[in-house]
Amino acid sequence: MNKNLKSHDLTVAVDIGTTKVCAIAARKNEHNKLEIVGFGKVESEGVLRGVVSNIEKTVNAITEAVRIAEGQTGTKFSTVNVGIAGQHIRSLHHRGILTRDNPNSVITDEDIDKLIKDMGKLVLPPGDQIIHVLPQEFTVDNEQGITDPKGMSGVRLEANFHIITGQVTAYKNIVRCIEKAGLKVGEIMLEPIASAEAVLSDDEKDAGIALVDIGGGTTDITIFKDGIIRHTAVIPFGGNAITKDIKEGCTVMPNQAEKLKVKFGSALAEEVYEERIISIPGIKGHDPREISEINLARIIQARVEEILDFVVWEIKRSGYERKLIGGMVLTGGGALLNHIKKLAAYHTGMSVRIGSPRDSLAQGYLEEISSPMFSTGIGLLLKGKQQEPMIEPESDFASNSVFVSDLEPEENNEKNGPSNRIPYQDESDSEGGIYKDKPKNWLDDIMLKTRGWFTETDE
């Protein structure tokens, strides 16, 4: 327990994945690196292909992961940042136009905000909602290719937007799980955007890069060019599909298939010795099973090549196939497969590296945290909101006050979770004493605003 820790110095991320739920608490040091002060990881049983399929199991996993992390920090969490993924995620492009009344005044944040809010008028398929609105380029009076128009003069302001949408039910289920665990949602962010923040450099984003995050249930793709997100996509299978193939191809139990993949698996069959045999203990006195290591690799390679085929198709669909100077970065738990980097390079013809969040961490971190499987969690810490400081009541007020939990215990418990949680405060302006995380730049400011604009119906 660190007695010098204050809750409002911390940022907390909860990564709700198909195979794991992890809670990570960190604070930034003077070099803008993350000092990990709390880490809890438990097995995930209530998530299928990146989407919550069982509320109760997911809540239990979140509660346990947060409890472990809280025990290490010695403080209770109030606000957490979470990611959203799944095959329901869609992306589209749209162009907005704003004619300004006063051509002599300069373009301000308010003008950009008007353009972004207009995107909320788009007609979406039933049950979908906007998650992020990301500006691409601006045009001011026919002057194209402007990345930040603030301070310029002009009558006609235009912008191209990359809009990311998802199902309302999937979004609400994530919020419901967090609130049932006694916590408040700070930011909900598309998981590949969070992963990109943790593993990609600014130079890579400028040169053009494809980030491929191979998770347990989905494979997420994000394409950057000129420092801007150009394309996002979600492939509805990942590492679990490989495990399932091993289970069926080798006729073994699911837990044995996972161990075979992790310990002996290879994404490239030509790198495996043909004569090696893996012996698997039999069940309840049955004879052990023997599996050829090269056959195991062939099963894995077939599924990984299928995933890479989808990745190549999405890159071509984006229109940036020949513009990605930086090549491809693999991250997520699937990037830990032996020889997957070499297979990806062979299969796509692109330069490939394995991306881990190591460069975002301060010295002294657990080696496990630097694994590619925690890229999303680290990215949520880098771009998410900090904890809200608790307001200590004055003694005169405290002696005469009656808390909501005393008046409406059943309703309050359902809304705010277990009674041992410290109640969180609603956001207010800086004059009210509530801390608000300041965005690093104008694009981060836009991302912070859009979630509130397009999710008012969820309140």
Q: For the ranges 53-67, 249-263, 436-450, which has the lowest average pLDDT? A: 436-450
Tokens 């996002």 belong to which residue?
232
Q: What is the β-pairing status of strands 47-48 and 219-225?
A: unpaired
Torsion 429-431-433-439 (CA) sign: positive
Would you state the pLDDT for residue 447?
59
Residue 99, pLDDT above cutoff 70? yes
Burial class (CB in 10 A: 0-12, 13-18, 19+), 334: buried
Please check whether residue 85 is in contact with residue 234, taking contact to mean a CB–CB distance below 8 angstroms: yes
Residue 451 corresponds to which tokens in the numbers above?
A: 């979630």
Task: Report the candidate in 140, 349, 125, 332 with the shortest Cα–Cα distance to residue 239.
Answer: 332
Would you state the pLDDT for residue 335?
95
Task: Report the candidate in 219, 80, 115, 16 with the shortest Cα–Cα distance to residue 446.
Answer: 115
If phi > 0 it is left, if psi is from -120 to 50 it is alpha, else beta; for residue 28 that is beta
The CA-to-CA distance between both ends of the chain, in Å, stands at 36
Average pLDDT over residues 121-147: 89
Q: Which positions ≥6 away from 89 have C-beta within 8 Å?
A: 131, 164, 165, 166, 190, 232, 233, 234
- 435 against 323, higher pLDDT: 323
CA 260/CA 291 separation, integer angstroms: 10
Average pLDDT over residues 184-208: 93
Would you state the pLDDT for residue 204?
95
Average pLDDT over residues 174-201: 93
Cα angle: 248, vertex 311, 325; to 5 degrees: 145
| Distance (Å) of CA 455 to CA 166, 385, 387 | 12, 17, 21
- 160 against 436, higher pLDDT: 160
Query: Which residues on neighbouring strands pair with residue 185, listed in sequence order?
Result: 80
Would you state the pLDDT for residue 87?
85
The model's pLDDT over 29-54, given as tens digits with 9 standing for 90+, comes to 888 889 999 999 999 988 988 889 99
% of the chain exceeding 70 in pLDDT: 82
The model's pLDDT over 312-360, given as tens digits with 9 standing for 90+, comes to 999 999 999 999 999 999 999 999 999 999 999 999 999 999 999 998 8
Helix (H, G, I), strand (E, B), or coil: what is residue 48? strand
Torsion 138-139-145-149 (CA) sign: negative
Q: Is the pTM of this model over 0.85?
A: no
Residue 449, pLDDT above cutoff 70? no
Would you state the pLDDT for residue 9?
76
Helix (H, G, I), strand (E, B), or coil: what is residue 19? coil
Average pLDDT over residues 374-400: 66
Would you state the pLDDT for residue 259?
92
CA 37/CA 1 separation, integer angstroms: 9
- 108 against 389, higher pLDDT: 108
Q: Rg (Cα) of the chain, in Å, rounded?
A: 24
The model's pLDDT over 264-315, given as tens digits with 9 standing for 90+, comes to 999 999 998 777 888 888 777 678 888 899 999 999 999 999 999 999 999 9
Q: Which domains can be identified in the chain, with CATH numbers?
A: 90-169+441-458 (3.30.1490.110), 395-424 (no CATH)
Residue 149, pLDDT above cutoff 50? yes
Residue 5, pLDDT above cutoff 70? no
Would you state the pLDDT for residue 427?
38
Residue 335 corresponds to which tokens in the numbers above?
A: 């990037």
Average pLDDT over residues 369-384: 92
Task: Report the candidate in 271, 59, 278, 89 with the shortest Cα–Cα distance to residue 182.
Answer: 59
Residue 174, pLDDT above cutoff 70? yes
Would you state the pLDDT for residue 86?
87
% of the chain exceeding 90 in pLDDT: 55
Torsion 294-235-207-441 (CA) sign: negative
Please check whether residue 372 is in contact with residue 17, taking contact to mean a CB–CB distance below 8 angstroms: no
